[in-house]
Amino acid sequence: MKLRKVTAASAVVLALAVSATACGSGKKDGGASGSGKKIAVGIKFDQPGIGQKTPQGYSGFDVDVAEYVAKKLGYAKDQIEWKESKSADRESMLSRGDVDFIVASYSITPERQKKVDFAGPYLLAHQDVLVRADDASIKSTADLNSKKLCSVTGSTSAQNVKDKLAPQANLQKYPTYSACLSGLQTKAIDALTTDDSILAGYAAQAQFKGRFKLGGLKMTNENYGIGVKKGSDLKGKIDKALQAMVADGSWDKAVKANFGPAGYQNEPAPKIGDVKS
């Protein structure tokens, strides 16, 4: 009798273990067929035209790119788990496995390539400044040295200002570009600096129409790549997906839909592996 009780208890434990295994997180590695599971993708939540979370969902060029890539990897839109990837958090999110890949205005740099791998690039942008529409004091990069600039902690733009573009500028680092934009509105800062693709999205928002303008300085080349964990086989698979996106016209369609309203003059689609210095 005692033996039967032990056997029954063991059967229950075994059944629970099997059930727990079957009901796991559903997140899978390696980018094989979706099979009803999820893929975690990092994007920006506060960059209009690039990656933005709204009451209606997620929108922007990076979102369109991510959805296309995910589809090629075997995932439908409703199988994507979107996660906010702030500039300072991207490398740690990938190394911890919080996300499978990141599409978040993520510039490819030698320093970052030591920590993560990049597929792409999929967009060539340029660092610029956003100023108030009535401000005519910034005509060149040299003019920035006497200004209060804002960029985001952990961003390439902030590092560029400090290292080479305007080392004498009063650089203030905020957690998000939206916070920088608030400072620009209240005149707490003179200019917001980041990539022109991002700035165009902010300037094009209906509530800011006519209030801000881009400086048109084109100070750097910013090669946007899709970040993956170091050594991940997703890099090659994503490269192939990006090549297909350009070939079938989906890349041009996404550019027009997201950047067209801002009048942003984008560069042609870059070739995979061609990182402009």
pLDDT, one tens digit per residue, over 41-71 is 999 999 999 999 999 999 999 999 999 999 9
Between CA 118 and CA 111 the distance in angstroms is 12
pLDDT above 70 (res 234):
yes
Nearest residue to 127 via CA among 162, 98, 101: 162
Answer whether 276's CB lies under 8 Å from 124's CB.
yes
> CA-CA distances (angstroms) from residue 275 to 18, 107, 197, 225, 271?
48, 10, 17, 9, 8
Q: So what's the pLDDT on residue 6?
A: 43
Instruction: Say yes or no to pLDDT of 237 above 70.
Output: yes
> For all residues of the chain together, what is the average pLDDT?
88
Q: Which domains does the chain have, with CATH numbers?
A: 39-124+223-262 (3.40.190.10), 127-214 (3.40.190.10)
| Percentage of the chain lying above the pLDDT 90 cut | 77
Distance CA 56, CA 21 (A): 34
The CA distances from residue 8 to 14, 15, 172, 177, in Å, are 10, 11, 66, 60
- Tell me how far the alpha carbon of residue 241 is from its chain's centroid: 17
Q: What is the pLDDT of residues 57-112, one digit of tens each?
A: 999 999 999 999 999 999 999 999 999 999 999 999 999 999 999 999 999 999 99
d(C-alpha 117, C-alpha 235), whole Å:
7
Report which of residues 69 and 209 the model is more confident about. 69
34: pLDDT strictly greater than 70: no
Long-range contacts of 156-159 (CB under 8 A, 24+ apart): 156/107, 156/109, 156/127, 156/220, 156/222, 157/127, 157/193, 157/194, 157/195
SS3 213: strand
Question: Which range (32-41, 63-72, 184-193) has the least confidence?
Answer: 32-41
Radius of gyration of the chain measured on its C-alpha atoms: 22
Q: CA 148 to CA 191: how far, in whole Å? A: 7
- Report pLDDT for 275: 95
Supply the pLDDT for residue 177. 86
Q: What is the pLDDT of residue 128?
A: 96
- In this prediction, residue 207 has a pLDDT band, given cuts at 50, 70 and 90, of confident
Q: How far apart are CA 272 and CA 171, in angstroms?
A: 34
Cβ 214 vs Cβ 129: under 8 Å:
yes
pLDDT of 150 above 50: yes
pLDDT at 263: 77
Confirm if 95 and 115 have CB atoms less than 8 A apart. Answer: yes
Written as one letter, the residue type at 184 is: L
